[in-house]
Amino acid sequence: GDSVTQMEGPVTLSEEAFLTINCTYTATGYPSLFWYVQYPGEGLQLLLKATKADDKGSNKGFEATYRKETTSFHLEKGSVQVSDSAVYFCALRSNSGYSTLTFGKGTMLLVSP
């Protein structure tokens, strides 16, 4: 079945540092890929998405590129802020008709001033 593997956290960074959170997936066909963010005490919000190979999703300074050859969708940001502290979830959705959203276990990011 489909699965998503994320690097374990927490990831601790100083403000303005470069961020990478690794995400790899296993799925049949060509799934859509998503990054969701969960701020403390809140529900999940879509951060960015990519629906086909080589697509780059971007939002709020975050980027991720859909790499079919390495089955990866790593999240990056050039300069993190304290306000980016949250839990980040990589997810996929199979393109075989109606399907569920499969999540990774989440990676907590802690950014200090």
Partner 1 sequence: EAQVTQNPRYLITVTGKKLTVTCSQNMNHEYMSWYRQDPGLGLRQIYYSMNVEVTDKGDVPEGYKVSRKEKRNFPLILESPSPNQTSLYFCASSSDGSFSYEQYFGPGTRLTVT
Name the residues that contact partner 1, by CB under 8 A.
31-32, 34, 36, 41-46, 49, 51, 89, 93-95, 97-101, 103-106
Q: Considering beta carbons, is residue 14 or 26 the nearer one to partner 1?
A: 26
Q: How far is the CB of 93 from partner 1 (least distance, A)?
A: 4
* Integer Cα distance of 101 and 96 in angstroms: 12
Q: Which is nearer to partner 1, 46 or 79 (CB)?
A: 46
Decide whether 19 or 50 has the Cβ nearer to partner 1: 50
Minimum Å gap between C-beta 1 and partner 1 is 9
- Give dist(CA 94, CA 28) in Å, integer: 7
| DSSP state, residue 100 | P
Q: Helix or strand or coil: residue 83?
A: helix
Residue (16 or 52) nearer to partner 1, CB: 52
Burial environment of residue 69 by CB neighbours within 10 A (0 to 12, 13 to 18, 19 or more): exposed
User: Least separation, in Å, of the C-beta of 95 and partner 1?
Assistant: 4
Q: Is 68 left (phi over 0), alpha (psi -120 to 50) or beta?
A: alpha
- Rounded least distance, CB 29 to partner 1, Å: 9
